[in-house]
């Protein structure tokens, strides 16, 4: 993936059924693009962390604001120092090792 073209948004969310569909539903409903999702539970909490890979267009501000409005979304930030290779590894997994 290309750091200039893409952005990773980092979310902390309540960990219960339906949160994932609330978030993907928002992207469908508002016609935002969504290139990849990584999600995992945080140890000893009732929360999960989520990373969303998004094309960097002029709607990032609006996406972040809409995400903040979701009831089960506790924190939203644009990930400045995320390791972008994580999604590259996922990409490899998806495409199959050559």
Q: Is residue 66 within 8 Å of residue 29, measured between CB atoms?
A: no
Question: By CB under 8 A, what part of segment 79-98 binds other proteins?
Answer: none
With binding defined as CB under 8 A, does residue 75 bind other proteins?
yes
Strand residues in the chain grouped as ranges (E): 6-14, 36-41, 47-55, 73-78
Of 48 and 87, nearer to other proteins (C-beta) is 48
Please state the length of the chain. Answer: 98
13-72: which residues touch other proteins (CB under 8 A)? Answer: 14-18, 21-22, 25, 28-29, 45-47, 61-62, 65-66, 68-71
- Cα separation, 72 vs 15, in Å, equals 8
Question: Shortest approach of other proteins to residue 20 CB, angstroms?
Answer: 11
CA atoms within 13 A on the CB side of 79: 19
Instruction: Give the interface with other proteins as residue ranges (CB under 8 A).
Output: 14-18, 21-22, 25, 28-29, 45-47, 61-62, 65-66, 68-71, 74-75
């Amino acid at each position: 993936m290309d750091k200039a073209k893409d952005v990773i948004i980092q979310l902390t969310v309540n960990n219960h059924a339906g949160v994932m569909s609330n978030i993907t539903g928002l992207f469908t409903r508002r016609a935002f693009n969504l290139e990849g999702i990584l999600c995992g539970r945080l140890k000893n909490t009732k929360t999960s962390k989520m990373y969303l890979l998004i094309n960097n267009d002029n709607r990032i501000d609006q996406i972040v604001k809409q995400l903040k409005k979701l009831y089960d979304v506790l924190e939203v930030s644009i990930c400045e120092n995320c390791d972008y290779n994580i999604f590259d590894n996922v990409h490899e997994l998806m495409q199959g090792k050559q």
